[in-house]
């Protein structure tokens, strides 16, 4: 038998691994799994690993129940193959869905009136936990993005101001009416075991930094509960910007407080 060429080796290797039939070869290589499926599987494993890591240490029945409830609520990401659909049709359908979502967001992201804002902040103190109420008050009084709220550390928030770090670092004054909700949250935070070791300002039920998605989900669910289905973190940020303009602030000051790159970005943001 003569020596096989590289092309013949490759052809035999493909025939041996049966790369066209997923799942039939129990020793198939990782190449058999499509890249988008590998990414989804990795994200699911990473999420489960974070849950398990947070549950280490002494047994806490309350935290274990919270972790189990959180895992049951999470819907695993899934993947689908469309072997008979042209690529252009898939891309066009995805772009159409993005346009629909953006138009829906533009239609729902409208500032709250003064009465709606007052009712929202008053109801938060009675219907939300101390942490969630403090986060909602923080969003409405500072206009920070929900990602910036999640990234805040204890050293960033002082008695009269908050320092937002990142690409556009800025300092935002804290109004006096925000202090009671923050002080109440900090007292609860200090009572939690091990909470002082985490530098993040807002912590979740596991003592870790809150995620932007969890904060926004709480705001949206709270809005539905009080009869404001369009309420979201973006709605509170838009309301903050509009209230600044109504109070007599110029566009440059509003742009600085919002952390926009230019005045044109602020104009486009307020024109939605």
Report pLDDT for 91: 76
The model's confidence at residue 139, banded by pLDDT at 50, 70 and 90, is very high
Contacts (Cβ under 8 Å, ≥6 apart) of 36: 79
- Give 112-270's CATH code, choosing from 3.30.460.10, 1.10.443.10, 3.90.1150.10, 1.10.260.40: 1.10.443.10
Q: What is the rounded radius of gyration, in angstroms, for the C-alpha atoms of the chain?
A: 25
What is the per-residue pLDDT across 11-64, written as a single tens digit (0 to 9) for each? Answer: 776 666 554 444 444 454 545 556 666 666 777 777 777 777 766 666 666 666
User: Can you tell me the mean pLDDT for 63-74?
Assistant: 68
Q: Quote the percentage of the chain above a pLDDT of 90.
A: 6
Report pLDDT for 260: 83
Contacts (Cβ under 8 Å, ≥6 apart) of 115: none
Domains of the chain by residue range: 16-73, 112-270
Report pLDDT for 262: 81
What is the per-residue pLDDT across 222-231, written as a single tens digit (0 to 9) for each? Answer: 998 988 888 8
User: Can you tell me the mean pLDDT for 249-271?
Assistant: 83
Q: What is the DSSP string of the chain?
A: -PPPPHHHHHHHHHHHHTTTSTTS-TT--GGGS-HHHHHHHHHHHHHHHHHHHHT-SS--HHHHHHHHHHHHHPPPP-----TTS-HHHHHHHHHHHHHHHHHHHHHH--PPPHHHHHHHHHHHHHHS-HHHHHHHHHHHHH---HHHHHT-BGGGB-SSEEEEPSTT-EEEEPPGGGHHHHHHHHHHHHHSTTGGG--BSSB-TTSSBPPHHHHHHHHHHHHHHTT-TT--HHHHHHHHHHHHHHTT--HHHHHHHHT-SSHHHHHHHHT-
Report pLDDT for 35: 62
Report pLDDT for 264: 82
- On whether the CB atoms of residues 218 and 130 are closer than 8 A, the answer is no
> Which pTM was predicted?
0.62
């Amino acid at each position: 038998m003569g020596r096989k060429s590289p092309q013949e080796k490759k052809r035999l290797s493909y025939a041996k691994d049966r790369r066209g039939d997923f799942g039939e070869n129990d020793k198939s290589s990782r190449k058999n799994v499509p890249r988008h499926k590998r990414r989804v599987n990795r994200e699911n494993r990473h999420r489960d690993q974070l849950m398990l890591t947070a549950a280490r240490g002494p047994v806490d029945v309350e935290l274990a129940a919270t972790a189990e409830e959180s895992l049951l609520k999470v819907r695993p990401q899934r993947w689908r193959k469309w072997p008979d659909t042209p690529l252009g049709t898939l891309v066009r359908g995805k772009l159409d869905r993005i346009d629909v979502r953006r138009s829906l967001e533009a239609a729902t992201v409208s500032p709250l009136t003064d009465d709606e804002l007052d009712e929202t902040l008053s109801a938060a103190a009675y219907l939300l936990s101390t942490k969630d109420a403090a986060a909602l008050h923080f969003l409405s009084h500072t206009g920070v993005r929900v990602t910036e709220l999640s990234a805040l550390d204890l050293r960033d928030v002082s008695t009269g101001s908050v320092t937002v770090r990142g690409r556009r670092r800025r300092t935002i004054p804290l109004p006096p009416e925000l202090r009671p909700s923050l002080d109440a949250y900090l007292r609860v935070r200090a009572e939690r075991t091990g909470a002082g070791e985490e530098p993040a300002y807002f912590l979740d039920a596991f003592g870790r930094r809150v995620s932007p998605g969890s904060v926004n989900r709480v705001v949206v669910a709270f809005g539905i509960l009080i009869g404001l289905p369009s309420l979201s973190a973006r709605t509170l940020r838009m309301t903050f910007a509009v209230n600044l303009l109504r109070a007599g602030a110029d566009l440059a000051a509003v742009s600085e407080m919002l952390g926009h790159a230019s005045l044109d970005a602020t104009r486009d943001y307020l024109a939605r």
